[in-house]
C-alpha cells in the first residue's frame, strides 16, 4: 500500500466513523413516516392508532402495523371537528394537544440539518476532488443515466447524414419492439452493437434514437466512469447497470468510450491494469449471459475501434459493427436542417452554402455552428439568423477550443479532390482494371479521401499487367497533384509505400523482373522482404541486392510515367472531375462515367 492509498483508507475510516455516530444519534429519535390524512383516518378506524399528539400544523403519533410493531407517523391536519370523538370511539389510549414548536427550536433544527448537509457535501465531494479529481459518491452503484424514451423521444429523424448506419440499426429497433417474434422464428439477434467513428458524429444520438424508435428505456454510462476509482468498483458498476436494465427490459444499454475498458489487454503501458481488466471481464460475463428473449441490446461507441480487445468482437458479443462516418456535403446539409429547426432562420440563410463551407465538420460541430449563429444573431438583436451569422459561426467553430483534426481548408480540399481524381482517371483509362465504384474526399480514418475499386469477379491469380496497372493507379494521385499545382504534398506517402511494396514483391517474390530472373529472394516464413534480413545469411550477393533496388525503382518510376502520361493527355477531364468532386465530395461509378462521357472520352 503506498502513501496515497494509506491516506485514502484513513479518510474512509474516518468517514465511516462519522456515519456510524450520525446513525446512532438519529436512531434515538423515532423515525416518523409521513402518511396521508386518509391513511391516518383509516388506521384510526381500524383501531390501530395508540397515541396521538395534535398541533395546529401537525398531527403525529404512533400506531401498530399488521405485524404488531409500533410505528411513528405524522400527517398534515385537515379541518375535522369530530376528531376527538373518533379518538374516544376507537380507543386511542393517549391523545393530547401540543403548542406550536417554538420558532427558535425549529430554526435551530433546520440550521443543524443544513450544516450537516454541507459538512457531508464538503467531505465527500470537495475533499475527493482535491484528493485526486475522483468522485466517491455512490461507489459501486452504476452512475448510469436513465432516459425514459417515452417522455423525451429521440427518433431517427433527429439523426441525419448517416443513412447507412441508420439502415443497419433498423433491425435492432424491430427486435426491441418484438423480442418474442424473433425468439419464435429462431432468429439470432446481436447481443451487442459497436458504433465506431470520429467524435461528434452522432453515435450517442443514434443509440438514443434506437431506444426512442422502439419506445424502450435508455440506460447510458461512460466506460471511463467504470474505471475511475477503487479496484472492484468498475465491475460492480457494470453488474448494477445490467441489473437495472434487465428489470426494465426491453431496454437499450449504451456504453460510451468503450475503449476505456475494452482496450486490447496487452496494449498500453505496463501491461495489465487490474481494474480495467476486471471491468472488462464483468462486461464479457454480462454479454455472454444475455438470453435471447431478454430484450436487451447493448450498444457501445468508440472512436478507436483499432484498440478494442478482440475478445469483445467475437460472435455473441459485439458481433455487429457499424461505422458512423463524418458526413459528406449532403449529409451536412441534412444535419444543419435538423438543428436549424430549433432556431428562426432568415429566408436568405442557405444551409447548402454552409454545408459547402464545412468539409470535415462532424454533426456536433454543425450543431455548434447553428448554436453560435443564433447567439450572434441575438447579440445583434436580429429577428432571425442570417447568412453572415452562419459564416461567422463557422469561423468560430473552426477556430474553437475543440479544433478537430479532420477539418479541411478549401485549399486542402482542392488538393485532395485532384489527388483522388488522379487515381480515378488512371484507373478509368487503363484497360482491364477493376471498375471504380466510388470516389470520395470525405476523410475516413487517416486517409483524407479514397477511391474505391471493386473487382467484378473474385480473383485468385494476379498477372504482371494487373500489378503494373495497380501501381500506376496508386501513383496517379501524386501525378495529378503535380500537374494541377506544380507541387506535391505529403498526402501521397501511403500510396508510395504501397506501390513500392508491390514492386518489391514483383522482383523478390513473384519473379516478375527479367533482370533479376525467376528467383524467390524471400526466405520461408518471412512475410516481407527486408534488405537487412536479406543481408544476414540469405546467401544473396551484394550485386543481386543492388539489382533488386534498381529494378524496384525502375518499376515504380515506370508506373509514375504511365500515370503522368494518362493524366496529361486528359487534362481537361481531370479538371472537370476534380471540380465536380470538390463540389459534391462523393461521386459514384455512374456519376464518374457521366463526367467522362460529357467530356467525350
Residues that bind ligand ADP (CB under 6 A): 159-162, 199-205, 301, 335, 338, 363-364, 367
238 vs 232: CA distance, rounded Å: 10
Residue with cell 477531364: 573
From the list Zn ion, ligand ADP, none, which binds 162 (C-beta under 5 to 8 Å, kind-based)?
Answer: ligand ADP
Closest residue to ligand ADP in the complex (CB): 363
Q: Which does 364 bind (CB under 5 to 8 A by kind): ligand ADP, Zn ion, none?
A: ligand ADP
Nearer CB in complex with ligand ADP: 162/241: 162
The option from Zn ion, ligand ADP, none interacting with 217 (CB < 5 to 8 A, set by class) reads none
Site for Zn ion in 494-533 (CB under 5 A): 495
The site partner of 495 among ligand ADP, Zn ion, none (C-beta below 5 to 8 Å per kind) is: Zn ion
Shortest gap between Cβ of 147 and ligand ADP (angstroms)? 12
| Least distance CB 289 / Zn ion (angstroms) | 46
- For the bound state, the minimum distance from the C-beta of residue 491 to Zn ion, rounded and expressed in Å, comes to 7
- Do the bridges between strand 192-196 and strand 296-302 make them parallel or antiparallel, or are there none, so unpaired? parallel
Stretch that binds Zn ion, among 288-296, 487-495, 517-525, 569-577 (CB under 5 A): 487-495
| Whether 555 contacts 468, CB under 8 Å | yes
- The grid coordinates listed for 581 are 468532386
Q: How far is the CB of 324 from ligand ADP (least distance, A)?
A: 6
CA atoms within 13 A on the CB side of 26: 11
477 binds Zn ion (CB under 5 A): yes
Task: From the list Zn ion, ligand ADP, none, pick the one residue 477 interacts with, judged by a Cβ distance below 5 to 8 Å according to partner type.
Answer: Zn ion
Cell digits of residue 522:
524471400
**How distant is the alpha carbon of residue 6 from its chain centre?**
36
Closest to ligand ADP by CB, 233 vs 300, is 300
Instruction: Report, in Å, the least distance between residue 155 CB and ligand ADP.
Output: 11
Residues linked to residue 33 through DSSP beta bridges, in sequence order: 73
Q: Which does 159 bind (CB under 5 to 8 A by kind): ligand ADP, Zn ion, none?
A: ligand ADP
Count of Cβ atoms closer than 10 Å to residue 301 Cβ:
28
In DSSP notation, 526-583 reads: --S--HHHHHTTS---HHHHHHHHHHHHHHHHHHHHHHHHHHHHTHHHHHHHHHHHHH
Q: If contact means CB under 5 to 8 A according to the sort of partner, which of Zn ion, ligand ADP, none does residue 473 touch?
A: none
Strand extents, DSSP E, 412-570: 436-440, 450-453
- In the bound state with ligand ADP, the residue whose beta carbon lies nearer, of 83 and 343, is 343
Number of residues counted as binding Zn ion (CB under 5 A): 2
402 or 526: CB nearest ligand ADP: 402
Q: How far is CA 248 from CA 151, 218, 242, 253, in A?
A: 15, 9, 10, 11
Report in angstroms how near the CB of residue 445 gets to Zn ion at its nearest: 13
Residue 499 site contact among Zn ion, ligand ADP, none (CB < 5 to 8 Å, cut-off depends on kind)? none
Identify each DSSP E strand in 139-270 by its residue range.
145-147, 192-196, 218-222, 251-256
Stretch that binds Zn ion, among 155-163, 230-238, 470-478, 587-595 (CB under 5 A): 470-478
Q: Which is nearer to ligand ADP, 191 or 203 (CB)?
A: 203
Of 391, 437, 400, 423, which is closest to residue 586 (Cα–Cα)?
Answer: 437
Q: How far is the CB of 364 from ligand ADP (least distance, A)?
A: 3
Residue among 200 and 477 whose Cβ is closer to Zn ion: 477
- Longest CA pairwise span in the chain (Å): 119
Residue nearest to Zn ion (CB): 477
Single out the segment in contact with Zn ion by CB under 5 A; choices: 134-142, 345-353, 472-480, 521-529. Answer: 472-480
- DSSP letters, 241-283, are HHHHHHHT-SEEEEEE-THHHHB-TT-STTS--HHHHHHHHHH
- The edge-to-edge listing of strands for the beta sheet with 320-323 is 145-147, 218-222, 251-256, 296-302, 192-196, 320-323
| Catalytic residue flag (residue 410) | no
Q: Which of 420, 481, 551, 585 is catalytic?
A: 420
- Whole-number Å distance between alpha carbons of 372 and 389: 8
Shortest reach from residue 397's CB to ligand ADP, in Å: 12
Q: What is the contact surface with Zn ion in residues (CB under 5 A)?
A: 477, 495
- Active site residues per annotation: 420
Amino acid at each position: 500500500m503506498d502513501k496515497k492509498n494509506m491516506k485514502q483508507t484513513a479518510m474512509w475510516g474516518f468517514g465511516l466513523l462519522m456515519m456510524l455516530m450520525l446513525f446512532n444519534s438519529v436512531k434515538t429519535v423515532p423515525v416518523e413516516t409521513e402518511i396521508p390524512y386518509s391513511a391516518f383516518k383509516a388506521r384510526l378506524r381500524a383501531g390501530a392508532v395508540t397515541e396521538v399528539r395534535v398541533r395546529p400544523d401537525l398531527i403525529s403519533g404512533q400506531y401498530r402495523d399488521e405485524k404488531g410493531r409500533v410505528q411513528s407517523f405524522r400527517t398534515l391536519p385537515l379541518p375535522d371537528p369530530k376528531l376527538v370523538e373518533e379518538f374516544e370511539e376507537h380507543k386511542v389510549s393517549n391523545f393530547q394537544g401540543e403548542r406550536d414548536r417554538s420558532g427558535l427550536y425549529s430554526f435551530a433544527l433546520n440550521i443543524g440539518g443544513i450544516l450537516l448537509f454541507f459538512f457531508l457535501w464538503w467531505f465527500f465531494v470537495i475533499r475527493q476532488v482535491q484528493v485526486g479529481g475522483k468522485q466517491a459518491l455512490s461507489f459501486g452503484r452504476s452512475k448510469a443515466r436513465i432516459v425514459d424514451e417515452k417522455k423525451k423521444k429521440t427518433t431517427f429523424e433527429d439523426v441525419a447524414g448517416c443513412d447507412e448506419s441508420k439502415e443497419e440499426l433498423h433491425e435492432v429497433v424491430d427486435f426491441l419492439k418484438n423480442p418474442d417474434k424473433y425468439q419464435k422464428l429462431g432468429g439470432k439477434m446481436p447481443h451487442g452493437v459497436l458504433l465506431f467513428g470520429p467524435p461528434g458524429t452522432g453515435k450517442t444520438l443514434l443509440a438514443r434514437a434506437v431506444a426512442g424508435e422502439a419506445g424502450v428505456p435508455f440506460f447510458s454510462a461512460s466506460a471511463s466512469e467504470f474505471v475511475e476509482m477503487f479496484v472492484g468498483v468498475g465491475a460492480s458498476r457494470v453488474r448494477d447497470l445490467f441489473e437495472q436494465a434487465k428489470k426494465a427490459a426491453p431496454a437499450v444499454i449504451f456504453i460510451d468510450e468503450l475503449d476505456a475498458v475494452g482496450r486490447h489487454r496487452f496494449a498500453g503501458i505496463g501491461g495489465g491494469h487490474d481494474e480495467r481488466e476486471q471491468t472488462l471481464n464483468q462486461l464479457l460475463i454480462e454479454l455472454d449471459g444475455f438470453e435471447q428473449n431478454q430484450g436487451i441490446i447493448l450498444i457501445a461507441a468508440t472512436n478507436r475501434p483499432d484498440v478494442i480487445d478482440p475478445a469483445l468482437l467475437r460472435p455473441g458479443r459485439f458481433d455487429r459493427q457499424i461505422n458512423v462516418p463524418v458526413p459528406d456535403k449532403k449529409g451536412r446539409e441534412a444535419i444543419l436542417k435538423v438543428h436549424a429547426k430549433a432556431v428562426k432562420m432568415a429566408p436568405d440563410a442557405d444551409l447548402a452554402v454552409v454545408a459547402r463551407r464545412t468539409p470535415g465538420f462532424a454533426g456536433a460541430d454543425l450543431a455548434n455552428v447553428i448554436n453560435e449563429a443564433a447567439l450572434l444573431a441575438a447579440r445583434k438583436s436580429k429577428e432571425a439568423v442570417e447568412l453572415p451569422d452562419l459564416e461567422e459561426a463557422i469561423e468560430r467553430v473552426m477556430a474553437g477550443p475543440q479544433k478537430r483534426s479532420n477539418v479541411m481548408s478549401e485549399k486542402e480540399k482542392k488538393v485532395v479532390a485532384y489527388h483522388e481524381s488522379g487515381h480515378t482517371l488512371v484507373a478509368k483509362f487503363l484497360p482491364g482494371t477493376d471498375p471504380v465504384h466510388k470516389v470520395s474526399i470525405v476523410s475516413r480514418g487517416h486517409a483524407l479521401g479514397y477511391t474505391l475499386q471493386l473487382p467484378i469477379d473474385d480473383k485468385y491469380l494476379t498477372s504482371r499487367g494487373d500489378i503494373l496497372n495497380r501501381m500506376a493507379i496508386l501513383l496517379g494521385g501524386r501525378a495529378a497533384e503535380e500537374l494541377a499545382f506544380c507541387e506535391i504534398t505529403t498526402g501521397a506517402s501511403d500510396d508510395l509505400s504501397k506501390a513500392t511494396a508491390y514492386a518489391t514483391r514483383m522482383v523478390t517474390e513473384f519473379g516478375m523482373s527479367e533482370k533479376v530472373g525467376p528467383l524467390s529472394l524471400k526466405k520461408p516464413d518471412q512475410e516481407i522482404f527486408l534488405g537487412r534480413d536479406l543481408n544476414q545469411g540469405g546467401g544473396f550477393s551484394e550485386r543481386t541486392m543492388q539489382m533488386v533496388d534498381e529494378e524496384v525503382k525502375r518499376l515504380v518510376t515506370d508506373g509514375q510515367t504511365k500515370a503522368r502520361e494518362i493524366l496529361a493527355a486528359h487534362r481537361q477531364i481531370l479538371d472537370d472531375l476534380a471540380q465536380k468532386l470538390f463540389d459534391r465530395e462523393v461521386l459514384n461509378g455512374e456519376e464518374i462515367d457521366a463526367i467522362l462521357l460529357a467530356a467525350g472520352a
